Amino acid sequence: MTITIHVRCELSEKVGFNDKDHLVHFLNYLFRTDKKQKWTNELTNKNVFLMKTTNEVYVIPFPSSMEERLQLRDKMYKLVSGIVEDNHLEVLKNDIMYLDIHDKETGDNCEHLLHARQVEELLSDVIETEKNGTENVFSVAHLDQKDSIYHVHTVILSEE
């Protein structure tokens, strides 16, 4: 049996950050480092961290330990801390992309059929380095939510 998988990418509105605390809470959500562990589950290790340069995308498996996720979160905060300290938080945005992956004939959700390399290739294709006056800082693909479709958060620098 052959299944033809169709992928539809839906962009959402870019969302800014109200203040430093909002950014910190967002990073905790992204990296699954919140104190209550509301978003962490047995699928969290399926999430993917991405950074893209002009020529290459770096796809890094999500750290499985809390300590490693905290280190990654702290590195990404340090990366954007100059923007926060210079009081230019308005240029940092969260760009969310929803990936609808389904069987073209039946309409059934097919996310579970993709293996890690296919997910990596798919994400490499949809993450852009620069787009309409924006620049990517980093991305996190949340592939761990049982009740929602795959989605990718990209922290971008944007004047709009």
CB 96 within 8 A of CB 12: yes
Average confidence (pLDDT) over 122-145: 72
Percent of the chain whose pLDDT exceeds 90? 17
For residue 40, count CB atoms less than 10 angstroms from its CB and return exposed for 0-12, middle for 13-18, buried for 19 or more.
Answer: middle
- Provide the domain count of the chain: 1
* pLDDT tens per residue, range 85-123: 888 888 899 888 877 777 777 777 766 666 666 766 777
* pLDDT tens per residue, range 43-58: 788 888 888 777 777 8
- Residue 145: name the closest of 54, 64, 4, 39 by CA: 39
CB 9 within 8 A of CB 101: no
Domain of residue 11: give its range: 5-158
